[in-house]
Structure 1
């Protein structure tokens, strides 16, 4: 119950500093999510096993839900724009990306009943951005990537910060726009060195 009370709603939370001062319940994993100057803590509710990688399901106290697989947004509900039924066709492993590499993404979007929206997504490594919202230590030691999507609905580029643990990639930070007006960033919280 404490973990749920820690998970502020996007709609009510106004201070990122307040989220960062929150004393977290032990034994839970959190995600700090920011959008349009507001911040929230989401708690890891469950992990769904999938052949392409585990899907983490994160919940806020106001029923916002993010589904994240290998650091990429696989679903967002309870927000003004929702992504549902997101399908990624063979996205590359982060550590294997040395130059531009593409994959396909399909998704359903609300509002507007936009079903089976299709994007060609190209991922490539970049230097650490100067305008990132990442607040953890060791940002310069992280591997940074950008994903550019081409589709009917123009979206700003997504960005990710990746570290390596036990020989595998772990995305510790991501930024993704769901539409032209709603962009979110998320970061594993508390930030680790």
Structure 2
């Protein structure tokens, strides 16, 4: 997902990629009988190289797997579900791209990442209510006083790379949104097609006497399907100028008869 501004970088990168693709094609052809895992790696590798939105939007996917369409500051990639780590009271989905980028989703929220320009590591959530809990506090938009008090909070500890800013302790405030956010994928902007979608926002609380430069009012938004109770979209700012978003893919989801088994 990273990019470069060097004027000749496009040619050199394309040359290196073409050589790499040739080598990988030869390798995969030699192990073509090894099964579906090699096919999945091949498919996601090709999608990773040709990763603009139009390619991902039109790609024919193996329905035996689950996917996320992930964007890092607008750079899209397709990630496949690697495994589910079922914790005692939570579920962690770990997703991989063809270029070894890793995104962990903890009960709908962003967890650890790897391979991005900016990464969160050692992410821990303490007493974090389920995202859907904020919907129960949804107050009429005209009642500002009740809106201000109708919020949930929890603590998050994380570290940030590069720079290795460690053990950042912050309070996250949750609230339901009464209006559709503007910075969302086009697939979610039609209120009629998304009548079952409700929106939640989380913001890091910055105390008035804060002296920690690592604590910023970072924002996150989530789309919850109230019919399936699924978090279909999330967008988290890792720094004030770098975000990661993820959308269940394809969206809208296929019918149950055609849903993936993994």
**TM-score, normalised by the number of residues in structure 1:** 0.89
1:13-28 map, 5 Å: 13-28=50-65
Shift of 1:94: 2.4
Task: Find out whether 1:50 has 2:101 as its counterpart.
Answer: no
Equivalence for 2:202: 147
Between Structure 1 and Structure 2, how many residues are aligned? 191
Equivalence for 2:180: 128
Seen in structure 2, the aligned counterparts of structure 1 residues 68 and 130 have a Cα distance that, compared at 3 Å, is: same
Please state whether the residue corresponding to 1:107 is helix, strand or coil.
strand
Return the alpha-carbon distance in structure 2 between the equivalents of residues 64 and 155 of structure 1. 26
Please state whether the residue corresponding to 2:132 is helix, strand or coil.
helix
1:148–1:157 CA contact under 8 A, matched in 2? yes
Flag the structure with higher helix content: 2
**TM-score, normalised by the number of residues in structure 2:** 0.67
2:72–2:116 CA contact under 8 A, matched in 1? no
Q: Which of 1 and 2 has greater Rg?
A: 2
Flag the structure with higher strand content: 1
Out of 216, 220, 229, the residue aligned to residue 158 of structure 1 is: 220
Seen in structure 2, the aligned counterparts of structure 1 residues 8 and 39 have a Cα distance that, compared at 3 Å, is: farther
Seen in structure 2, the aligned counterparts of structure 1 residues 162 and 77 have a Cα distance that, compared at 3 Å, is: same
Out of 236, 254, 261, the residue aligned to residue 176 of structure 1 is: 236
Runs of 5+ consecutive residues of structure 2 not aligned to the other structure: 1-37, 138-149, 207-213, 254-262
Runs of 5+ consecutive residues of structure 1 not aligned to the other structure: none
1:11-90 map, 5 Å: 12-90=49-127
Q: Deviations over 1:51-74 (max 9, x none)?
A: 231100000010100010111011
Shift of 1:134: 5.2
1:155–1:179 CA contact under 8 A, matched in 2? no
